[in-house]
């Protein structure tokens, strides 16, 4: 077991879970604007935390794999720059949208829709990156380059479609849109099938028995919403986020011990020695601080939002 990888991947899991729930919300804002309040009640306080977990993932990644920075820079920089532009656009548009009052052409609706579009495209860029990290499609380690045309294989495309179906399928559960209750299980099920198929298309070796854990957890999450008696479990946002993070965390065999189409050994590029000790020390101190702040957040949030931002 590689503890440093686990910490970095855990940070990624929480970030990905938060980002996917934002993508679900973005879809809701685009296609169901009249029911925006259910989406905004969740997204408005949480989008800032998503960004912070994103930063945590990037920084722990830099810390964990110093030897990878030069090749990553050569291969992914143009794609990362597109990601960054969308990231700023997302942050700026939602921050402006939260408090704006209508004047001339610019209003809350246009800004929230800009946020939704930026978040959706951002999600697409992240999926392209992830599929390249998993299967190595489009990546040439020898020449240090990335080609979108070479990336567009059946495995990558099915991966993107499968993940998007999962997000769309679970969105009604997450935001408790009971009118769409019947769509949840079939869409989620199809998303699971396509995701598993994409792993097989990328590399049959990615399908290990361990894969049954995320598959079952995802199907259970979808199934729980199918019945009103159990739906309250998954509509609880904290529970859903926790389960979703666990599902993503359990997908780690896709990139560990080897990533980029089995070409890169993670253990071989992980930091060691005094830097590894320092990594764990800061993780413990930062983790305690984070736990204390989250506890305070849970206590206060239980009393309900009541600020000038609302």
Partner 1 sequence: MAPLRRDRMSVDPGSMLTFVRFLFAFTIGSHILMVSTSIALVLLISISEFLSIRKSDPVYEALAKRLSKVFVISFGVGTASGIVMAVELVGLFPSFMTLVASTGAMVLLYAEISAFFLEVLALVLYVYYWNSFRGRYSHWVVSIFVVAGTLASAVFITMLNAWMNTPNGFDVSTFVSSGFKTITDVEPFAAFLTVSTVSQVFHVLVTTIFAGSMVIGAYFAYWFVRSRDAGEKAMYSRALKILGVIAIVTIMLAGISGSEEMGTLLVNQPLKYAALDGNTVPGTNLPDRFFGSIVNGSYVGGISIPGMQALLARFETGVTMLPGLSKFPPNTWPPLLVSTTFNVMTVGGLVLGLFMLVFFVSFVRKRRPYESRRLLYVWIPAAVLAMLVYQLGWATDEVGRQPWIVYNVMTVAQAANTSDALLLPGVIIFLFYLAVVPTTFYMYSRIFQGSHEEAPA
Enumerate residues 116-145 that contact partner 1 by CB under 8 A: 143, 145
- Burial, 288: exposed, middle or buried (Cβ in 10 Å; 0-12, 13-18, 19+)? exposed
84 part of the interface to partner 1, by CB under 8 A: yes
**Which residues lie across from 115 on neighbouring strands?**
none
DSSP 3-state helix, strand, coil percentages of the chain (rounded to 5)? 80, 5, 15
Site for partner 1 in 207-266 (CB under 8 A): none
**H-only helix segments in 65-203:** 69-99, 108-135, 148-151, 154-175, 181-202
285 part of the interface to partner 1, by CB under 8 A: yes
Residue of the chain from 5, 90, 175, 251 that contacts partner 1 (CB under 8 A): 90
Of 4 and 24, which has the nearer Cβ to partner 1?
4
44 part of the interface to partner 1, by CB under 8 A: yes
The alpha carbon torsion through 19, 186, 133, 11 (nearest 10 deg) reads: 40
Q: Which stretch binds partner 1 (CB under 8 A): 61-69, 155-163, 173-181, 209-217?
A: 61-69
**Binding string, residues 144-173; x marks residues near partner 1 by CB under 8 A:** -xxxxxx-----------------------
Task: Confirm if 184 and 173 have CB atoms less than 8 A apart.
Answer: yes
179 part of the interface to partner 1, by CB under 8 A: no
62 part of the interface to partner 1, by CB under 8 A: yes
69 part of the interface to partner 1, by CB under 8 A: yes
95 part of the interface to partner 1, by CB under 8 A: yes
174 part of the interface to partner 1, by CB under 8 A: no
296 part of the interface to partner 1, by CB under 8 A: yes
Task: Confirm if 169 and 188 have CB atoms less than 8 A apart.
Answer: yes
Q: To the nearest whole angstrom, how small is the minimum distance from the Cβ of residue 133 to partner 1?
A: 15
**Which residues lie across from 258 on neighbouring strands?**
265
Dist. CA 188–CA 216, nearest whole Å: 11
Of 145 and 203, which has the nearer Cβ to partner 1?
145
Q: Which stretch binds partner 1 (CB under 8 A): 59-67, 183-191, 213-221, 240-248?
A: 59-67
**Which residues lie across from 139 on neighbouring strands?**
146
96 part of the interface to partner 1, by CB under 8 A: yes
Task: Confirm if 135 and 155 have CB atoms less than 8 A apart.
Answer: yes
Of 263 and 282, which has the nearer Cβ to partner 1?
282
**144 by DSSP, 3-state: which?**
coil
Eight-state DSSP code of residue 236: S
Residue 149 tokens read as 């045309």
Which residue's structure tokens are 């998303």?
A: 191
277 part of the interface to partner 1, by CB under 8 A: yes
Eight-state DSSP code of residue 309: T
98 part of the interface to partner 1, by CB under 8 A: yes
Q: Which stretch binds partner 1 (CB under 8 A): 66-74, 205-213, 223-231, 232-240?
A: 66-74
Residue of the chain from 74, 141, 183, 246 that contacts partner 1 (CB under 8 A): 74
């Amino acid at each position: 077991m590689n503890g440093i990888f686990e910490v970095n991947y855990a940070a990624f899991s929480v970030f990905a879970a938060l980002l996917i729930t934002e993508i679900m919300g973005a879809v809701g804002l685009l296609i169901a604007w009249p029911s925006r309040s259910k989406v905004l009640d969740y997204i408005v306080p949480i989008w800032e935390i998503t960004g912070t977990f994103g930063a945590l993932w990037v920084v722990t990644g830099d810390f964990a794999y110093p030897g990878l920075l030069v090749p990553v820079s050569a291969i992914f920089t143009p794609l990362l720059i597109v990601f960054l532009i969308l990231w700023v656009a997302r942050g700026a548009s939602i921050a402006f949208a939260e408090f704006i009052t209508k004047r001339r052409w610019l209003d809350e609706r246009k800004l929230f829709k800009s946020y939704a579009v930026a978040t959706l495209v951002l999600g697409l860029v992240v999926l392209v990156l992830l599929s390249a990290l998993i299967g190595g499609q489009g990546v040439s380690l020898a020449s240090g380059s990335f080609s979108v045309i070479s990336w567009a294989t059946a495995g990558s495309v099915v991966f993107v479609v499968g993940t998007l179906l999962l997000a769309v399928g679970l969105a009604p559960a997450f935001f408790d849109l009971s009118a769409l209750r019947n769509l949840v299980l079939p869409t989620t099920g199809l998303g699971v099938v396509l995701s598993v198929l994409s792993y097989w298309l990328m590399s049959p070796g990615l399908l290990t028995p361990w894969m049954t854990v995320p598959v079952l957890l995802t199907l259970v999450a979808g199934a729980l919403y199918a019945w009103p008696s159990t739906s309250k479990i998954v509509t609880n946002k904290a529970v859903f986020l926790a389960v979703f993070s666990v599902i993503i965390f359990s997908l780690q065999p896709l990139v560990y011990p080897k990533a980029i189409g089995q070409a890169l050994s993670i253990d071989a590029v992980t930091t060691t020695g005094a830097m590894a000790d320092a990594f764990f020390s800061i993780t413990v101190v930062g983790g305690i601080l984070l736990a204390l702040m989250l506890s305070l957040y849970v206590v206060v949030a239980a009393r309900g939002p009541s600020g000038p931002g609302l």
